[in-house]
Structures are given as structure tokens and as C-alpha cells.
Structure 1
């Protein structure tokens, strides 16, 4: 289960994955009933930013879950996928029955991780499987859970490998069987993937496309073509949206001043940050904070 790694005035609990004693490091499967018994409703409702994946599916009841300011309603058969770095909050778990699967980003092999888009921040959060595939997804989750609870029936390395393969089946099905109808989206090429990872790493250091282009060995135009093809927006807007998302997280879930947030995000002053935020959202940082404070998971 997760362990609280850091908490300060920012207000977002940073969670690191900690494997239960005696189980393979990297993955855990538990019921929502077990989750309710492990922690309090107040702790679950606190904004969390895990460094590992959450997969949630319901078998009974309903559940509201908030991921980066968007509310998602889960019903039996639906799946929710929260990725590392996203800020999420649990709603009322009373009466909700289902399964929670936690896994570290490095637990899956590289080929599966790429095919399942596990590192893609633009991948969908709420997944509504087609009826024809609901049973297959349920069986995949059940088989994974059974193997997780069968510790000791196989040598540990074999048990771990089995879990890795069973998890791969589940995430690949979720990725491809829940894809929207219509022409398939273009596969991200290496240019986009390198730029995406660089932005995730350095967005608080620079918002200039030219800096990323120079660091990666591309032209700014090449980066914009790559983001337009995959994400539907230019390279500069791609960077700015990532900065605004982080600003929203810090504003909504903490009490830091605009000046402090400006400094954390690489702005020379609170005034520059406020202008940037207003241009991107149509709101001042304080107005957004006031609005977000009135929002809570249902």
C-alpha cells in the first residue's frame, strides 16, 4: 500500500509505493473493503499525488472520484486509471465494492508500458469498456488478484513474473478495448515522447520551445509538428498547459502565496505569473483558488 512521503503547507500528500510485507515489490491488489479498513475517509478525501498507478473498478455501488479537478462517476463495469503525478481525491466509499490495483511505473516491461501508454499524461482517466469486453476485463482482474493472493504457491521470481504478465494483459486490454470509435489515433513517435518527457521534467525551469528544441536536437517547428499530430496542439501551448495544470494543483490544494508559487514554477515575479495564469484560464490565481476551495469530491 502507499506510504505518506511528504506533507507541508502545499496541501498535497505525496505518496510513494510501499509493497506489503512479504509480497513482490511493485504491485498490490486489494478490495475497496480492505481499503476502507486501512485508512479513514478523511485521509482518502485529502488530495494525493502518488508516484504509482491506480486502477479502480467497481462490482457494486457507485463512487465519485476526482482527478485533477474533474469529477468521474464510477459504476459497476467502469474503470478509473490514475497515473503517477496526477492529483486525485476519493469520494465516499460507503457502499462501493470493487477492486483497487496499484503498481509502480517500472513494474511492467518497457514494451508493454509503451503499448499501454502508461507514461502518457493525456491518456483517458475514466474508461468505459464495451459490453462485449467487460467479462474479459473482469476475468483479467480476478486472475491477477488470485495470483497476488497466492504468494508461496510458486517460487517468488516465478510468482512475480506471473503477476507482471497478468497485469500486462489487463492494462493492454484497458488501453485498446476502451479506445474511442473512429480512426485510430496516430502512434506517438520518438520526437513527441522525448519532448513530452522533457517538458514533464523541466516545465518549471523553462517554458521556451527553443530551449527544448536545442536540448533535444530538433527544430522548434519539428516539436510543434509532433505535438500537433499526437496531442492536437502546438509545442508552446503543450508546455503552457502543463505549467497551468501544476499551478492549479498548487493553488487548489495549498496555502502558498502567488509569489511562492511563481518562484516554484520559474516565473520572475508574482505579477508575471498572474498574467500568465489569467491569459491561460481567464481567471486570476486568487479567483481560481476561491473557486477550487468550494469543490470537493461528491
Structure 2
């Protein structure tokens, strides 16, 4: 059984030939309805073509109108109001294999205007036309792959299309801190379901807890422990909002054998219990999510 909130095999686009598909925004939520968030299983570009409203990407409210661009990644949750129309380009990692393009350099939320809007709309329109005509022709796969790559490169050049952790020289973290922070984030993605001890990550990366915390504070103004716990809490929110998986099972998946421990952790991080959060998932998420906690002092012992 496919958990509610995820696309079933019947509603997922067929990517077997090109690893790329074009669909309408309504297709993403065809199985669960417009009010429920959708747990994404592929990379997306969403170009709004009609209507006005507020979309939510990982519980962040994003204003949308014609010309708005949204970039989403696998594992995120997306909810869009029914009054929005949009063209959605969806692809798997294989679609860009071997091409010199970084999809993560594309801004998450951008309002196109002027020549940039004209160029992006033209490229999206051509990709839509060629995909419709050639999606079942294996010989067209290189054409569609390179069209997608060119589109992503163009979008990466838009204002805001760089790594948000980068700052002008002399105003942000040192390069060594950035490198440490990104290494830590990659390790967190691999292991957050198994350990929430900063000491474990420091050991894996061959550095001290102090070094990890200094890097996280420099880049995010939050300690390493906060960055780690926020990642676990985000995943819990995604699963509670976009699936019907039992709360206790979600807790076990995230490393909490005891439901009470998961409940305390979630309530501390989010401000409401898992049950209350799930009960409110048909409402805009930002109404029940409290602001981030202030950053810890520069020295963190890795404990809560």
C-alpha cells in the first residue's frame, strides 16, 4: 500500500524512456487532494502560469503568481492551493548524469521578470513541446536531457541562484567552516535516523564537537546539535503531514524506540505534539510551527 500523500505507481509519471516528464500541478496531488501536502520522490521545477496564492514547500510559505518559479527536491513536501495553475518538470538523477550542471544552484523560490522571464518561458515551452512529441523515442533522450540542463544552468544564474551559505568575502564564514558545515550536513543526511549525538558525527568527520559547532554557528547561527535536531524534526513533520503512517512507527524510523521519547522531542522542537501537528495538516503549517530557538553558545557538548 502506498502511504497517503505519496504518488502511487498509477499516478506517477512514466520516466522509463527519458527520466524526464512534464505534468500539470494538479497531477501531483491527484491522489490525495489539494489540501494535503505531497511527499516528493523526484526533483521538480514548478513554473506558475496562472492564479495567485501561497504554496508551501517544507512548511515554508511562498507567495506565487504567474512567473513564479519553485524548485523542489526528493523528500520535501509540497502543497499548492487549488487556484494555482503551473507547468511541472519532473526528473530523476539519471536525467542529468554526466552533464555539467548543478540543480542545487537553482533558487528555491524566484519571481521571474523581464528578459529572464521571457527566456525561461521559451525554454520551458520548447521542452514541453519536444517532450510531448518525442517522450517515447529513445533517440530523443539526449535532446530532452540537454534542454533540461540548459534550463537549469540558466536558472542557476538568476539572482539568488547560488548557495545560500555563501557570503561576500569578509562578511561570512571562512571557507574551512563552510567545508566542515557541508561535510557535516552530508553525514547528517546519511545517519540522522540512527544517531543524534554530535560526538558521533565529529568522530566520523575526524574533528572535534567544538569545530562542528563553530562551523554551524558561522553558517547558520545555530549549534551543531540544533542543526541535527532540526533535521530530524523536519523529517518527522514531513511524514506526519504527508503520510498516514502511525506516529509510533515514524518515531521508530527516526531513532526513537519509545513513543513517549519521540513525543517529547517533537513537542520540544515544533511546539505541539505529533498528534496535534497531524490533526492540523489540512491547515497552513506555519500557523502551528513555532520560531527557531536561539543559537547555543559557541561551545556545545553535543547534548540536548
Distance 1:130 1:224, change over 3 A: farther
Q: 1:129 to 1:264 in 2, by over 3 A?
A: same
- Report which stretch shifted further, 263-272 or 186-195: 186-195
The match for 2:21 is 28
RMSD: 3.7
Match of 2:114 among 131, 140, 144: 131
Give the counterpart of 1:244 among 219, 233, 238: 233
Among residues 132, 138, 145, which one is paired with 1:149 in the alignment?
132
Structure 1 position 245, deviation (Å): 0.9
- Within a 5 Å distance, the mapping from 1:204-215 to structure 2 comes to 204-215=193-204
1:255-281 CA-to-partner distances (Å, cap 9, x unmatched) read 555543332211242332233223222
CA deviation string 1:131-174 (max 9, x = no partner): 34211211221232233234289x845x3222222212222232
**TM-score (structure 2 length as normaliser):** 0.73
Within 1, Cα distance between the matches of 2:29 and 2:277? 30
Kept in 2: contact 1:12–1:253 (CA 8 A): yes
- Aligned residue pairs: how many? 276
In the aligned structure 1, how far is the partner of 2:30 from the partner of 2:96? 30
The match for 2:254 is 265
Return closer, same or farther for 1:295/1:39 CA change in 2, 3 Å cut-off. Answer: closer
SS in 2 for 1:179: coil
Counterparts of 1:192-211 in structure 2 under 5 Å? 192-211=181-200
Residue 103 (structure 2) aligned to one of 106, 116, 140: 116
Question: What SS is found at the alignment partner of 2:222?
Answer: coil
Whether the 8 Å CA contact 2:130–2:144 is kept in 1: the answer is yes
Equivalences for residues 167-206 of structure 1 within 5 A: 167-179=148-160, 185-186=166-167, 190-206=179-195
Looking at structure 2, the residues matched to 56 and 91 of structure 1 have their Cα atoms a distance apart, in angstroms, of 13
The answer as to whether partners of 1:15 and 1:48 remain within 8 angstroms in 2 is no
Single out whichever of 280-289 and 11-20 deviates more from structure 2.
11-20
Q: Deviations over 1:160-211 (max 9, x none)?
A: 2222222122222323314189x98258955444332321222111111121
Q: Tell me: CA distance 1:131–1:237, structure 2 relative to 1, closer, same or farther (3 Å).
A: farther
Gaps of 5+ in 2: 168-174, 286-304
Task: Give the equivalent residue in structure 2 for 1:274.
Answer: 263
Q: Which moved more, 1:38-47 or 1:77-86?
A: 38-47
Whole-angstrom CA distance in 2 between matches of 1:269 and 1:193: 31
When residues 224 and 105 of structure 1 are mapped into structure 2, their CA distance, relative to the original with a 3 A threshold, is: farther
- Evaluate the alpha carbon distance shift between residue 263 and residue 57 of structure 1 in structure 2; reply closer, same or farther with a 3 A threshold: same
Deviation track 1:21-80 (CA, whole Å, cap 9, x = no partner) reads: 8x7331112455xx56x9847545543222211211123333543322334342111112
The equivalent of 1:3 in structure 2 is none
TM-score, structure 1 as length reference: 0.74
1:65·1:91 contact (CA, 8 Å) conserved in 2?
A: yes
Evaluate the alpha carbon distance shift between residue 29 and residue 290 of structure 1 in structure 2; reply closer, same or farther with a 3 A threshold: closer
DSSP 3-state at the match of 2:75: coil
Structure 1 counterpart of 2:2: 7
State the SS of the aligned residue for 1:272.
Answer: helix
Instruction: Name the counterpart of 1:76.
Output: 66
Report the Cα distance in structure 2 between the residues aligned to 1:242 and 1:217, rounded to whole angstroms: 21
Whole-angstrom CA distance in 2 between matches of 1:152 and 1:244: 39
Number of the residue aligned with 1:160: 141
User: Which runs of no fewer than 5 residues in structure 1 stay unpaired?
Assistant: 1-5
